[in-house]
Amino acid sequence: MLEILKHVSDVWEPESPQYTNENRVCLIDADSLLYYCMVESTFEECKIKLDSFIIDILDKCETHRYVAFLTPYDTFRRKIGVTKPYKGNRKGKTAPPELQGLKAYAKQEWNFCTVDNIEADDCMGVYKQREKELGLEFIICSPDKDVIRQIPGKHYNYSKQEWVDTSEDDAWHFLWLQTLSGDSVDGIPGIPGIGEAKATKILDNVKKEDFPLRALQSYIQKIKSQDRSYQTEVKDKIDKFKETLDLVYMLKDPSELSKYNIDLPELEIQNALDLWGQEIQ
């Protein structure tokens, strides 16, 4: 973090009253954050970009406490993808050469963390569910629509520097939109030819409690093959429906972790003021 001190010491005021909120904690999507910091020309500039980004997030959220989650390569969703390999559309794409170095820097200087077998998105969703139990206010900080549109709460999109309020109804609606349309970014196939606009139309004038049935009906209605029995086709469509739902669904409740043999550790909250003080000393 030494790189950033001379750049922000005259701007950031960590002793300001707004940074003394001990109950507010940023849950940061660190995967996207690292990629956003790979646009500079040198590795030193990438580190400065990362430091600046984190400080800006904390500043906007008016806190100095955070947890930054990284996604390990091997997660439970890679075992679910049968129709197509999960994130298989990224195979062969080369990561920027500085990425591993920046990841190591983030772990060392900012204590970014990973949890075995689970993505950063799901970590944020599950810990968000526990905020009342822990007596904390968690703010999810992410640009990823999968997170900020499917997990209820007030979130901070650090890409657009804007706040997003997602209600329980909004989150439920978006889940079934994704079940219908899939997610091209993660290589999750939904119903062929169905994007978000058509998915929205399918759910129009449907009661929210009927979204699952309407989505399943839409899968079955796409049966076209004449080569196999109707019963076989229906089973295949139901299997694909369940596969897509499991892939797009963001984990939110700690009780859901046992299904995938995930052991979520106790949350280790970082204090940027402590890190700042160590560097100054």
Domain containing 231 — which CATH number? 1.10.150.20
Q: Which of 99-103, 145-149, 179-183, 219-223 has the lowest mean pLDDT?
A: 219-223
Q: 73 and 26 in contact (C-beta within 8 Å)?
A: no
Number of domain units in the chain = 2
Statement to judge: residues 225 and 200 lie in one domain = yes
φ/ψ of residue 136, rounded to 5: -125, 165
* pLDDT recorded at residue 281: 39
Statement to judge: residues 109 and 224 lie in one domain = no
State the SS3 of 74-89: CECHHHHCCCCCCCHH
What is the model's pTM?
A: 0.89
pLDDT digits (tens, 9 = 90+) for 65-116: 999 999 998 999 999 988 888 887 666 566 677 888 999 999 999 999 999 9
Distances (CA, A) of 166 to 149, 172, 205: 6, 10, 20
* pLDDT recorded at residue 4: 54
Residue 2 within any structural domain of the chain: no
183: pLDDT strictly greater than 70:
yes
Over the Cα atoms of the chain, what is R_g?
Answer: 21
Domain that holds residue 47: 19-167+253-273
Statement to judge: residues 113 and 207 lie in one domain = no
CATH number at residue 75: 3.40.50.1010
Q: Report the C-alpha gap between 244 and 188 in whole angstroms.
A: 7
Residue 193 within any structural domain of the chain: yes
Q: Closest by alpha carbon to 124, among 143, 106, 101?
A: 143
User: Would you place residue 233 in the very low, low, confident or very high pLDDT band (cuts 50, 70, 90)?
Assistant: confident
